[in-house]
A and B are shown apart, each in its own frame.
Chain A
Amino acid sequence: MNFVDNKLIRKAKAGDMQAFAELVYQYKDKIFNLAYRMLGNTQEAEDVSQETFLRVYSNIDRYDEKYKFSTWIYKIATNLSIDRIRKRRTTYSLDDYWNEEEGLDWYTRLPNQSIGPEESIISNEEINQVHKAILNLPEKYRVIMTLRYVEDLSIKEISEIVNLPISTVKTRLLRGREYIRKEISNK
């Protein structure tokens, strides 16, 4: 949480649309990437991200400034992502939605600044392996792995978002990493 967030939230609570839009600009990429790694495709990620901000907008009066704004918005986004996964389970299989993936050409979607010299050591094939391995995890592990590695959050903040003790978050990280390690190493 920072001072800027607090100021914007107070203005947004008072009905200042420009302040609300600034909050959206600050968080949209974080929320979209979280939803994308949770759901595996851009269309659903966009739907869930839009819904997240609509919820923020309609519930902003209930937001309590004692807590970090990021914790609150991540909580909304992770819950909506999990709901979406559960709803589609009856109609979708994993294979179905992987077939809808953009495939290798999604590299072209990356913002230029993210392809620095250090990132170039990771191959497209490795990216896809890790991406699919995350999507194969049961959602209770997937959410923790995404918050940790896509959002780069501390274990403490993750525990606040998912309402679980730090020890449980660590156990889920352990299992998530072990699963992905095995997926990568067996190929």
Chain B
Amino acid sequence: MAETPATQTLKFTPLSDWHAAHGARMVPFAGYSMPVQYPAGIIAEHTFTRESAGLFDVSHMGQAHVHSSDWETTARALEALVPADVLNLKPGQIRYSQLTNADGGTLDDLMITRSAAPGYEGWAYLVVNAGCKDYDYEHIAAHLNPAVSLKVEEHVALVALQGPAAVAVLGDLIPAVKDLAFMTSVGVTFEGHHLHISRSGYTGEDGFEISVPNTFVVAFWEKLLSDARVKPIGLGARDSLRLEAGLSLYGHELDTTISPVEAGLKWSIQKRRREEGGFPGAARILKELKEGPSRIICGIKPEGRQPARENTEVMKDGRLIGRLTSGGFGPSVGGPVALGLIEAQFATPGTDLVLIVRGKELPAKVVSLPFVPHRYIR
């Protein structure tokens, strides 16, 4: 069994003490001490999220604003860094995108929200990955023109409430969220504190991601947990939930060599950007959009019960055609599930593949994503 790595340089979220006091197993993740699971365990936490509502501490993720005096200036500055259409976002609307590099690889993936708050017309709210955030901020700041500024938000935590009961639970406290459309957001005042609430998530379920002042987050977390429909969920179940939902995880399905098109994310590049380009790596990304990528991320279902893990070799007719980027056990599927980056000619659902697991051949099939249907409220 693995030894516990040294913890002396780890950072903590405002909820770290709460997790430890409630029996969570804390592990180092992206430089933070984070709960991988609570005493209930990953399968129970995963299932509870799909059936009721799971509460996740994702305060390690980076929150920041990019702002200028007007939306067009801010949007154009962001469009120089990402392939999404930022300009046509409506106030409060959220869009998923990627920071790309000059080679068309991916530096990080992120959420971009156009502010709806009066007086903040030129503001975009960003949420980036914990493991990438320091570099992201450097990269963004270095590429902004003098009219546009980056403001890193250090005084806010981030929690996610995910699952079919999420809207009823949060709606009992904050009725305004009941009418919030998927991928839109609203700012509210709750018990004297400003909360930024997004109807979005990383589980395939309906739910919310809520930015909360550090000083209020423990009280807010406990308030949500006082509802019997809510339980705390660790990073272990967060990973199995996103894997079943077919959602990319940076460092796995995305990295500096994998383009958004190869990652199966061409839906996140809107029409105007496909026509105009003007983002880093556009030459490669537009070519892949036109001709199709030579390799692509797809869903892979191993036969039987044995999970196949990240980096497992994927074979077709005795030839290496790619590797798994994520792999594990899907509690809702009731069996192993995986994502792999393979030669695009073999990525058609139904294609038989072979995985090499511990030196043995394990039969597998390409399947369409997601493994578990999304239940977003549109």
* B partners with A: no
